[in-house]
């Protein structure tokens, strides 16, 4: 149990550091700048299944606020992470394996790569579309929101799966 | 009472979600309206110092490139001075050197390093490594080596946040060189090199390739600072003005240092403008 908590803290610190120091410096391919690597939502996705729902929502809010301070966009990332922390519960219920979540850890190691891939893809996609909608704050830029979401989604998901397969965490 | 507590407990997740989401909306809206809270920006000391550190590492790897561009810039300045000396008939260069010594010059430039920036968001900002201590003030203009960068929006003692021209809230007063038509430059595209010029009257005789420079009407920038050229001229039905696409001649994504423009007669000009408004 304690190991689960410490592993989650280490993971959160590690991913947040990568996000605000490395991934914030974006790869802009000339005039094509729709790819923004945004991977920190996986922290919230991978909190253990048995944690209190309300606690997870507050943790999500804190994570988003932390990222916001570095992105100069107070409220935008926090809004998106609070949203996915809330809907996480329903997604997990909907995706529940037939034998239930035995080990409480939501990792590829425990639940298999295909399950983990689907789950993370859903979470990242919801996070990104909510994030870019909040950032534009109106649907005038609908085309931009959609393009950004799609391209960032593919790149971020690829990076997350890559990291997950390399480290292959147990907890 | 017990029922109420039970209710709150049962829906605690939803309530937490609702309250936090409302807080977020409040923060976003508030932040968009009044941008003065320094803690909300990266001019905040702690974040500023982390950004400065990671920038230092990045700087190290770009030293050669930077040296080259500084050399080029120096060379261009020297060139200007030399040309000035050559073309002036009686020894006007003497006067020129005297004006350089003169501390009552209208515009003074304060150089500063860029420690952090965003270029790809809807509202982009940049952080400079100089602040109140170095005499910067809110509202001062910031220039790069090739053109306009933005306006100082908030300050801490050692850092300054700059509202880039690539920001939904930025409006820059510009004119078309040699034609004196003036308009406002805004950013509506997602391309960091493409800007939109508004409020140029329909009867203006403009053409593709005309040069856009600052008008000098605002107190932030001196007149005739280069920005870009006209890329396309669009007509809006029923409107009295053009919608012009302007292509910036410089790339804002690779700036690593900037010059803050300190305008000595700022207060004087401001009072005159205010009088005019009344």
Q: Which residue of A has its CA nearest to B57?
A: A21
Residue B229's DSSP bridge partners are: B211, B247
Please state, in angstroms and as integers, the Cα–Cα distance from residue B110 to each residue in A145, B80, B135, B234, B260, following that order.
38, 20, 9, 38, 5
**What confidence category does residue B145 fall into, taking pLDDT thresholds of 50, 70 and 90?**
confident
Q: How confident is the model at residue B98 (pLDDT cuts 50, 70, 90)?
A: low
Give the 3-state secondary structure of residue B205. Answer: coil
Give strand pairing partners of B244: B197, B233
Query: Higher pLDDT residue, B83 or B170?
Result: B170
Report pLDDT digits (tens) over A88-141: 999 998 988 877 787 778 888 888 889 999 999 999 999 999 998 888 766 567
pLDDT value, residue B225: 81
Q: How many CB atoms lie within 10 A of CB A113?
A: 13
Give the pLDDT score at B36: 42
Instruction: Give the tokens for residue A97.
Output: 């394996």
Q: Is A33 in contact with B190 (Cβ distance < 8 A)?
A: yes
Q: Which of B58-62, B99-103, B235-239 has the lowest mean pLDDT?
A: B99-103
pLDDT value at residue B257? 81
| CATH number for domain B172-251, candidates 2.40.10.350, 3.40.50.2300, 3.40.50.720, 3.40.50.300 | 2.40.10.350
Alpha carbon of residue A19 to chain centroid: 11
ipTM of the complex: 0.79
Cβ B13–A57 below 8 Å, yes or no?
yes
**Which secondary structure element, helix H or strand E, spans residue B198, and what is its range?**
strand B194-201
Q: A54 and B40: CB-CB below 8 Å?
A: no
Q: Which CATH number fits domain B40-168+255-263: 3.40.190.10, 3.40.50.970, 2.40.110.10, 2.40.10.340?
A: 2.40.10.340
Domain segments of chain B: what residues? 40-168+255-263, 172-251
Flag whether pLDDT at A29 surpasses 70: no
Place of tokens 């205010």: B274
CA distances from residue A33 to A13, A18, B59 in whole angstroms, order as listed: 27, 20, 23
> Would you list which residues of chain B are within 8 Å, Cβ to Cβ, of chain A?
12-14, 16-17, 20-21, 23-28, 31-32, 40-42, 44, 47, 50-51, 54, 58, 118-123, 125, 161, 190-193, 253
Per-residue pLDDT tens over the stretch B242-277: 888 999 888 888 888 888 888 776 666 667 766 666
Q: Which of residues 48-67 of A touch B (CB under 8 A)?
A: 53-54, 57-58, 61, 64
* A161-167 average pLDDT score: 90
Which of A72, A77, A83 to probe the B interface (max B CBs under 10 A)?
Answer: A72
Residue B34 has pLDDT above 50, yes or no: no
CB crowding A4-15: b at 16 or more within 10 Å, else e: beebbeebbeeb
Number of independent structural domains in chain A: 1
Per-residue pLDDT tens for B151-197? Answer: 998 888 888 999 999 888 888 889 888 887 888 998 888 888 889 88
Least confident span in A10-14, A121-125, A129-133, B200-204: B200-204
* Percent of all residues in chain A with a pLDDT value above 70, rounded to a whole number: 93
């Amino acid at each position: 149990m304690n190991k689960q908590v410490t592993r989650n803290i280490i993971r959160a610190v590690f991913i947040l550091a990568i996000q605000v120091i490395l991934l914030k410096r974006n790869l802009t391919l000339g005039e094509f700048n729709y790819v923004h690597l945004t991977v920190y939502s996986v922290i919230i996705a991978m909190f253990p299944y048995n944690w209190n729902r309300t606690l997870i929502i507050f943790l999500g809010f804190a994570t988003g606020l932390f990222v916001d301070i570095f992105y100069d966009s107070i409220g935008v990332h926090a809004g998106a992470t609070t949203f996915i922390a809330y809907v996480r519960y329903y997604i997990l219920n909907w995706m529940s394996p037939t034998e239930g979540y035995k080990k409480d850890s939501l990792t590829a190691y425990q639940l298999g790569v295909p399950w983990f891939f689907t789950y993370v893809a859903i979470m990242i996609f919801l996070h990104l579309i909510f994030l870019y909608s909040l950032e534009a704050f109106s649907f005038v830029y609908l085309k931009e929101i959609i393009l950004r979401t799609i391209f960032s989604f593919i790149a971020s998901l690829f990076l997350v799966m890559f990291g997950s397969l390399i480290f292959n965490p147990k907890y | 009472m017990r029922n109420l507590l039970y209710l709150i407990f049962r829906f605690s997740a939803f309530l937490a979600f609702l309250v936090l989401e409302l807080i977020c909306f409040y923060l976003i809206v508030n932040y968009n309206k009044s941008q003065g809270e320094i803690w909300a920006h990266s001019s905040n000391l702690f974040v500023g110092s982390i950004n400065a550190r990671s920038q230092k590492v990045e700087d190290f790897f770009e030293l050669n490139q930077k040296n080259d561009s500084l050399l080029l810039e120096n060379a261009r300045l020297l060139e200007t001075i030399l040309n000035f000396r050559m073309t002036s008939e009686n020894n006007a260069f003497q006067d020129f050197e005297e004006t350089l010594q003169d501390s009552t010059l209208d515009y003074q430039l304060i150089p500063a390093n860029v420690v952090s920036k965003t270029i790809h968001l809807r509202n982009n900002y940049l952080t400079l490594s100089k602040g109140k201590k170095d005499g910067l003030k809110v509202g001062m203009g910031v220039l790069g080596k090739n053109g306009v960068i933005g306006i100082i929006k908030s300050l801490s003692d050692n850092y300054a946040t700059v509202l880039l021209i690539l920001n939904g809230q930025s409006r820059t007063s510009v004119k078309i060189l040699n034609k004196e038509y003036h308009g406002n430059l805004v950013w509506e595209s997602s391309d960091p090199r493409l800007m939109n010029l508004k409020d140029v009257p329909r009867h203006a005789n403009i053409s593709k390739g005309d040069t856009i420079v600052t008008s000098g009407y605002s107190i932030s920038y001196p007149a005739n600072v280069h920005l870009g050229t006209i890329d396309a001229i669009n007509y809006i039905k029923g409107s009295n003005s053009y919608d012009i696409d302007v292509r910036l001649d410089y790339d804002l994504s690779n700036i690593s240092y900037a010059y803050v423009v300190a305008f000595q007669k700022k207060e004087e000009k401001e009072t005159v403008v205010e009088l005019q408004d009344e």
